[in-house]
Amino acid sequence: MKNLYIGAWRLFYFLSLPATRLKIRSSHRAYVLLIHQGEALLIRDLFSDHQWKLPGGGAHDSEGYEQAAWRETREELGLELELTNLKPLAKGIWHSHKYNCPYQIFQVKLKDRPHLRLRKGEIYAADWFNKAALKVEKLAPEIAQAIALADF
């Protein structure tokens, strides 16, 4: 049943891709590396082709990077972060699907391991990984760079 659900969302994504590309082309993106006791939280969403990635996504028209990171973390994981806890970690240009989007990655160290409320219809898995267990060759280059720079 889960595979059917994932397949249906991927079909929807594929059909909406032309409109999505127009929006993504003009947006900047923000991601958050959440760290708790030496482990980083990674997610899998319906669009990441079974790759682990950081929570985050595109900014709304009037949002800065920090506000987008805060909103995306709340929407995808149900977490309310303090904006003052977002520490800039890396930034660059994301190259994909014939468009280039500026992005920024933030690091947040959490005192307690949070209870996650994964966004239904988008996020289907989340897990904590220690730095040694992460296979950086299987991560997108910008995520691997952020993990290498992160303090955990």
Angle at 90 between CA 134 and CA 94, to 5 degrees: 85
Provide the pLDDT confidence category of residue 47 given band limits of 50, 70 and 90.
confident
pLDDT tens string 22-45: 454 557 999 999 999 999 999 998
Domains assigned to the chain:
2-149 (3.90.79.10)
Residue with tokens 């500026």: 102
8 A C-beta contact, residue 57 and residue 70: no
Assess contact for 114 and 126: CB atoms under 8 A.
no
pTM: 0.81
More confident residue, 2 or 35: 35
Whether 30 and 65 have beta carbons less than 8 Å apart is answered as: yes
Which two tokens mark 117?
């409320």
What integer is the mean pLDDT of 73-97? 90
pLDDT band for position 61 (cuts 50, 70, 90): confident
Give the span between the Cα atoms of 152 and 32, in whole angstroms. Answer: 14
Which structure tokens are listed for 82? 């303090």
Residue 106's alpha-carbon distances to 3, 68, 125, 130, 149, in angstroms, are 32, 11, 21, 18, 11
Task: Please choose, from the candidates 31, 98, 93, the residue with its C-alpha nearest in 3D space to the C-alpha of residue 58.
Answer: 31
